[in-house]
Amino acid sequence: MGWYERVVFRRAMDRVIGRPGVRAERTAALAPARGRILEVGIGTGLNLDAYPDGVAAVTALAIESELDARAVARAARRRIDVQLVTGDATRMPFEDGSFDTAVCTFLLCSVNDGAATVRELHRVLRRGGRLLFLEHVARRTRGKRFLQYVLEPLSRVVSCGCSLVRDSVSTICDNGFQVDQLVDQDLPAMMWPHRRVVRGVASKVAP
């Protein structure tokens, strides 16, 4: 991870997606978290403040070898034991059926291969396990979506690979999950290009 992503981008994102309106969506998204929990892409640990009170431990998969200092502080404040595992989201270093709950928030917009990531989430969840997700996606109307496509190259550079035009719900449904709960809304707390946000619960469908 380069200096720009570590120092500039993460600091900016911590402010933008740490706003109260987004924080409320995180809390709603993570309310069903139970059992052994995997969070992919923990970043600065914004989700740690949003887990329900019963959560005492989280396994975090990330490309970096050390937790961000902000994540360490948030884990300590919530008394959540975070076990960091370094690895690639498309080739997770876990056995099949290792987790009860998987969490991805503002992740599928940035991974190189969203389908492969979701397939891995499906693999490492136990039978009946659930995926909790919160993602920004392509806008509904043609005009707004066109502007997102115009801004897409700049977003990829400035936002460290973040795509504005992903269809993450389809990616989840096409790779082994059934979406049981879905909230699809324009969230004013987000910046305009990222304002359409989907939040939901998906259950693992047996192959």
**Residue 111 neighbours by CB under 8 Å, 6+ apart:** 41, 89, 90, 117
Region 74-86 average pLDDT: 98
Q: What is the per-residue pLDDT across 152-161, written as a single tens digit (0 to 9) for each?
A: 998 989 888 8
Does residue 56 have a pLDDT over 90? Answer: yes
Does residue 195 have a pLDDT over 70? Answer: yes
Region 140-150 average pLDDT: 95
Region 47-52 average pLDDT: 97
Q: What is the pLDDT of residue 168?
A: 98
| Domains identified in the chain and CATH numbers | 3-204 (3.40.50.150)
pTM > 0.85: yes
Q: How confident is the model at residue 9 (pLDDT cuts 50, 70, 90)?
A: confident
